[in-house]
């Protein structure tokens, strides 16, 4: 606009605030703050005391008592109250603050609201440090410790045996012993299902997941989403169920469909129905699925009782004002086992899913409990999905017992009405799974889902387009998906409680118009595993072991969906500082503070990586392992695994394979064990030639053996040197094998050994310590790397430094042995593959020059070496190496 084009300097421009007339007060916000403070000072509140003189608070978030009360209290007691945090704010009052926020708050202490109330009660300003919600200091910094007396130990009359010492550590020790005793008692409780393990047990994780319903629900849900994606990919477009149905019904296109029809199928009290399959005698009775068998605990231990009470107290403390805790109505002996699912009969008595068993028993004394039947859930879910999939693949899997299906096409093809179809599919599901289900139909999935509510239990309901508004108007807003506590509270404030209320205010989204298509393709966003039950470590080693197995578990899940991750988060729940050591729920997590730490920019593609990163994070957080109550690993930023390049994988695996199969053969090593060890590091080949080699070895004089052994010990590039230097007079056909050390890319097969006579084989196995190699492969990449290095140095030695050695080789015999030539040629081929063609060219120039003075046997040897090398060249470069192909007497 004109402002910038007329060239007026920037700073002359009036700020927005000035333009609005707030300039004199220093801007809008400053004006607002001043006004609020002014209002505060002029509020008609009688001043009672001056306790909070020079204290200025700012309330952040929900507190007990609420901010308004605090404001009045501050006014009455001479303090200041800031609506916004300003530089004059001396304290922040909060009950709960996320870590992130604390970082932004700077150096102002964050204090619990009870500081204010307690101070008023006592009539003097208390030291706020006792009421700090969190300290701003980092853990590593030293801090002043205010002795906090353990409630448990101070309330409890100290036992006479301990009273003498009065030593806190002894008390702690004792409580640990009691804990252990309790664990044993737990064993007694659990006889029917075997002992409950703590996380220190290596089998713990397995058992934990086998007994976790939440785990099952989440994994099954994810599995079926995955299954649908797979089925869609593989689908041949034929649906046997649908075809059968058409045959059965005959084609009658009587009904005209307007728009699409979505079906929502929900199994009725899934866990209970599945459980009842095996317990028909319980049908019609109130039944609940839970881990525990009865609602009362056998707790004679006073200590445990006390800590339970303390924990319940703390739960209440931690809850925001006005919310009633689930544990509120429990006495100390009630079971804290949660009810996963309960039958409609039980629901009539007021029992709800997620209730603690102890409470439920009180509401419905004749409640019968059934154990979980995880196999059954899996089986029934599977059958459910397979049944539906035989009609259509337009399925959106929600969870193990809930599914959306787009039935538009089915209805069109079969000509069935919605009701006919619903009866058919429900009967079929009932027949195959022996579990009842409800089906709701609507024009979109919201309508379908809400229709299911009316259909339940074991019924069906089609929400017709004309009835939608009427039907919706009675639905409480709380039942809508996506409407949570926060939204509900806001709507409640507006006086909106049912959809009907909202309809009046004409919010179109809530009138049952949900245009989102079904989500057939589902991709996981994160993979995680978390355990907060039974975590009790006694040593750091146990802790690491557990992290290891959890890492394997979480990686297994990642691998199952064929993804890899870029980000890893470790979540630790640590016993809250003032929480009792022993939790109310047997081996539960009690009241915890949680610590999280993430690392990104990594590539998680193996369980080892997961564990390595987790260990680093754990060490950084470094919580006291005895106080650990929960551990979770989460992998996020998932990406698809790149399709495996087979050739590449093969190539990458090659080194290990090579090491696996390498054996020392040509020489009998000297007696020292060390040389034998070294010997296995050398790349020597067992090929079809093995027999000859072994035979020649046997005939060899002792002196040569030992020297040859030494040669091997000293590594490959030295071998020629040593060999030629010391054994000039020995016929070369026997010695040459000792110099071969070049890495051979040929596949070496230990099965060759089987071809040998038994005594020979045993001898070889014994001498070269092959037993290990035959059974276990010893991956030793380092030795392989060493060999490659040696290989690259080798030719230089051969050509530049050791020309004389080559000359000796040439002079030692009339004709080269085929074996030597092959071996050297293979080595050269490897050089070509390793792109060392500069060296190769020099080698062949040299060989050509040297061999040109020799007879045609040598020339032929040259040609065969060239041929082998050219194979490597063609593999790597698609062309041959330019070498001299002719000698004076003969050509290739």
Partner 1 sequence: MSGAKITVANILCEFFEVVVHNILYARKLYPETIFAAKKKYGIAVYQSIHPDVNDYINQSLKAVNFHAKNNHLKRLYVCFHKSEKISEKYVFEVLNISNHVESDPLLVEVEQSLRAFLVKLNTSQNYLEDLPDDSTFSIRLETTAYSRLEFNQEPAFEDFPWVEVNEQDKSIESPDIVPLHMLKCPLLSLQMFVGREVEN
* Residues between 666 and 685 with contacts to partner 1, criterion CB under 8 A: none
Three-state DSSP string of 589-650: CCCEEEEEEEECCCCECCHHHHHHHHHHHHHHHCCCHHHEEEEEEEEEEEEECCCCCHHHHH
Minimal distance in Å, beta carbon 873 to partner 1?
Answer: 6
Residue found by looking up tokens 């060759």 in the block: 752
Q: Which is nearer to partner 1, 177 or 652 (CB)?
A: 652
Euclidean distance between CA atoms 474 and 495, whole angstroms: 15
Euclidean distance between CA atoms 528 and 37, whole angstroms: 48
Which of 80, 338, 345, 402 is catalytic? The answer is 402
Task: Output the DSSP codes for 513-571.
Answer: ---PPP------S-EEEEE-SS---SSHHHHHHHHHHHHHHHHHHHHHTTEEEEEEEEE
Q: Which stretch binds partner 1 (CB under 8 A): 117-125, 351-359, 829-837, 858-866?
A: 829-837
Minimal distance in Å, beta carbon 879 to partner 1?
Answer: 4
Minimal distance in Å, beta carbon 718 to partner 1?
Answer: 25
Angle separating helix axes 818-833 and 837-851, nearest 10 degrees: 150
Determine which residue in the list 66, 836, 846, 850 makes contact with partner 1, applying CB under 8 A: 836
Q: Which is nearer to partner 1, 766 or 885 (CB)?
A: 885
Angle separating helix axes 818-833 and 781-796, nearest 10 degrees: 100
Q: Which is nearer to partner 1, 651 or 877 (CB)?
A: 877
> Minimal CA–CA distance to 557: which of 225, 219, 226, 230?
219
Determine which residue in the list 645, 841, 867, 890 makes contact with partner 1, applying CB under 8 A: 841
Site string for partner 1, 292-331 (x = CB under 8 A): ----------------------------------------
Minimal distance in Å, beta carbon 843 to partner 1?
Answer: 11
Q: Which stretch binds partner 1 (CB under 8 A): 234-242, 484-492, 746-754, 879-887?
A: 879-887
Q: Please say if 402 is a catalytic residue.
A: yes
Q: Which is nearer to partner 1, 189 or 836 (CB)?
A: 836
Q: Which is nearer to partner 1, 319 or 837 (CB)?
A: 837
Residues in the interface with partner 1 (CB under 8 A) total: 14
Is-cis flag, bond preceding 654, omega within 30?
A: no
**Token representation of residue 35:** 């006004």
Euclidean distance between CA atoms 575 and 54, whole angstroms: 36
Minimal distance in Å, beta carbon 877 to partner 1?
Answer: 5
Q: Which is nearer to partner 1, 758 or 838 (CB)?
A: 838
**How crowded is residue 573: how many other Cβ atoms within 10 Å of its Cβ?**
24
Q: Which stretch binds partner 1 (CB under 8 A): 100-108, 360-368, 621-629, 830-838?
A: 830-838
Euclidean distance between CA atoms 529 and 44, whole angstroms: 56
Residue 824 CA neighbour count, 13 Å, CB half: 25
Minimal distance in Å, beta carbon 878 to partner 1?
Answer: 7
Q: What is the largest CA-CA distance in the chain?
A: 123
Euclidean distance between CA atoms 380 and 245, whole angstroms: 22
Minimal distance in Å, beta carbon 653 to partner 1?
Answer: 22
Q: Which stretch binds partner 1 (CB under 8 A): 63-71, 479-487, 533-541, 835-843?
A: 835-843
Minimal distance in Å, beta carbon 796 to partner 1?
Answer: 13
* Residues between 849 and 878 with contacts to partner 1, criterion CB under 8 A: 873-874, 877-878
Is residue 881 part of the contact set for partner 1 (CB under 8 A)? yes
Q: Which residues share a beta bridge with 627?
A: none
Determine which residue in the list 145, 838, 888, 889 makes contact with partner 1, applying CB under 8 A: 838
Strands 341-342 and 437-442 turn out to be: unpaired
Whether 439 contacts 422, CB under 8 Å:
yes
Determine which residue in the list 835, 849, 853, 890 makes contact with partner 1, applying CB under 8 A: 835
Is residue 651 part of the contact set for partner 1 (CB under 8 A)? no
Q: Which residues share a beta bridge with 664?
A: none
Residue found by looking up tokens 């969190």 in the block: 134
Q: Which is nearer to partner 1, 813 or 880 (CB)?
A: 880
Q: Which is nearer to partner 1, 3 or 835 (CB)?
A: 835
> Which residues would be at the binding site for partner 1 (CB under 8 A)?
835-838, 840-841, 873-874, 877-882
Could you list the active site residues?
402
């Amino acid at each position: 606009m004109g402002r910038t084009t007329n060239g007026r300097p920037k700073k002359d421009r009036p700020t927005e605030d000035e333009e609005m007339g707030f300039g004199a007060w220093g801007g809008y916000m400053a004006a607002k703050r001043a006004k609020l403070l002014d209002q505060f000072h002029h509020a008609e509140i009688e001043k009672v005391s001056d306790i909070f003189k020079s204290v200025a608070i700012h309330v952040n978030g929900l507190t007990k008592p609420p901010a308004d009360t605090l404001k009045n209290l501050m006014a009455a007691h001479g303090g200041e109250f800031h609506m916004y945090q300003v530089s004059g704010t001396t304290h922040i009052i909060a009950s709960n603050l996320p870590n992130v926020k604390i970082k932004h708050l700077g150096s102002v202490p964050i204090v619990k609201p009870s500081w204010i109330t307690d101070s008023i009660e006592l009539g003097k300003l208390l030291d706020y440090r006792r009421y700090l919600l969190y300290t701003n200091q980092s853990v590593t910094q030293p801090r002043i410790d205010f002795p906090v007396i353990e409630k448990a130990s101070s309330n409890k009359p100290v036992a006479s045996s301990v009273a003498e010492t009065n030593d806190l550590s002894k008390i702690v020790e004792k409580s640990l012993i009691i804990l252990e005793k309790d664990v044993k008692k737990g064993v007694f409780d659990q006889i029917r299902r075997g002992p409950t393990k703590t996380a220190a047990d290596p089998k713990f994780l397995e058992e934990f997941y086998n007994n976790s319903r939440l785990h099952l629900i989440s994994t099954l849900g994810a599995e079926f989403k995955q299954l649908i994606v797979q089925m869609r990919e593989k689908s041949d477009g034929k649906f046997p169920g649908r075809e059968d149905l058409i045959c059965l019904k005959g084609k009658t296109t009587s009904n005209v469909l307007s728009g699409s029809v979505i079906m929502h199928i929900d199994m009725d009290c899934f866990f209970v129905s599945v459980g009842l399959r095996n317990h028909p005698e319980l049908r019609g009775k109130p039944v609940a699925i839970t881990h525990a068998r009865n609602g009362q605990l056998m707790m004679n231990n006073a200590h445990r009782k006390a800590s339970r009470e303390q924990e319940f107290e703390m739960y209440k403390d931690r809850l925001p004002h006005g919310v009633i805790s689930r544990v509120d109505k429990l006495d100390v002996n009630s079971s804290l086992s949660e009810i996963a699912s309960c039958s409609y009969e039980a629901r009539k008595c007021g029992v709800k899913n997620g209730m603690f068993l102890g409470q439920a028993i009180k509401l419905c004394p004749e409640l019968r409990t059934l154990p979980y039947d995880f196999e059954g859930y899996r089986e029934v879910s599977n059958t459910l999905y397979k049944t539906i999939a035989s009609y259509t693949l337009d399925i959106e899997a929600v969870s193990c017992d809930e599914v959306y299906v787009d039935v538009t096409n089915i209805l069109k093809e079969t000509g069935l009405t919605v009701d006919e179809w619903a009866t058919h599919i429900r009967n079929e599901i009932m027949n195959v799974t022996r579990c009842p289900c409800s089906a709701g139909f609507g024009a979109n999935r919201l309508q379908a889902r809400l229709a299911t509510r009316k259909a339940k239990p074991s019924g069906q309901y089609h929400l017709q387009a004309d009835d939608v508004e009427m039907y919706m108007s009675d639905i409480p807003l709380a039942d809508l998906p996506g409407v949570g506590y926060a939204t509900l509270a806001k709507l409640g404030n507006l006086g909106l409680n049912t959809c009907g209320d909202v309809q009046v205010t004409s919010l179109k989204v809530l009138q049952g118009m949900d245009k989102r298509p079904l989500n057939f393709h589902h991709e996981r966003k994160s993979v995680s595993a978390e355990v907060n039950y039974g975590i009790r470590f006694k040593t750091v080693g146990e802790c690491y072991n557990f992290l290891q197995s959890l890492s394997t578990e979480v990686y297994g899940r990642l691998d199952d969906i064929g993804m890899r991750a870029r980000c890893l988060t470790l979540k630790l729940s640590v016993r809250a500082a003032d929480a009792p050591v022993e939790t109310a729920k047997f081996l539960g997590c009690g009241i915890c503070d949680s610590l999280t730490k993430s690392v990104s920019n990594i590539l998680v593609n193996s369980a080892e990586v997961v564990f390595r990163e987790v260990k680093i994070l754990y060490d950084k957080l470094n919580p006291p392992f005895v106080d650990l109550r929960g551990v979770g690993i989460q992998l996020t930023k998932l990406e698809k695994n790149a399709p495996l390049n087979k050739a590449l994988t093969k190539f990458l695996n090659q080194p290990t394979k090579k090491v696996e199969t390498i054996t020392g053969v040509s020489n009998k090593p000297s007696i020292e064990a060390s040389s034998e060890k070294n010997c296995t590091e050398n790349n020597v080949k067992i090929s079809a030639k093995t027999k000859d080699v072994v035979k020649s070895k046997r005939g060899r004089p002792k002196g040569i053996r030992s020297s040859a052994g030494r040669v091997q010990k000293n590594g490959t590039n030295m071998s020629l040197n040593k060999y030629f230097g010391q054994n000039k007079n020995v016929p070369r056909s026997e010695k040459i094998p000792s110099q071969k050390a070049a890495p051979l890319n040929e596949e070496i097969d230990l099965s060759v050994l089987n071809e040998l006579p038994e005594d020979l084989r045993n001898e070889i196995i014994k001498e070269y310590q092959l037993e290990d190699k035959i059974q276990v492969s010893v991956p030793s990449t380092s030795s392989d790397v060493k060999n490659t290095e040696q290989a690259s140095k080798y030719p230089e030695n051969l050509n530049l430094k050791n020309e004389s050695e080559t000359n000796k080789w040439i002079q030692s015999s009339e004709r080269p042995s085929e074996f030597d030539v092959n071996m050297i040629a293979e080595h050269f081929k490897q050089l070509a593959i390793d792109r060392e063609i500069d060296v190769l060219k020099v080698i062949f120039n040299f060989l050509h020059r040297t061999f040109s003075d020799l007879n045609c046997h040598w020339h032929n040897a040259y040609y065969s070496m060239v041929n082998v090398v050219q194979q490597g060249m063609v593999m790597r470069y698609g062309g041959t190496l330019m070498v001299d192909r002719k000698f004076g007497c003969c050509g290739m």
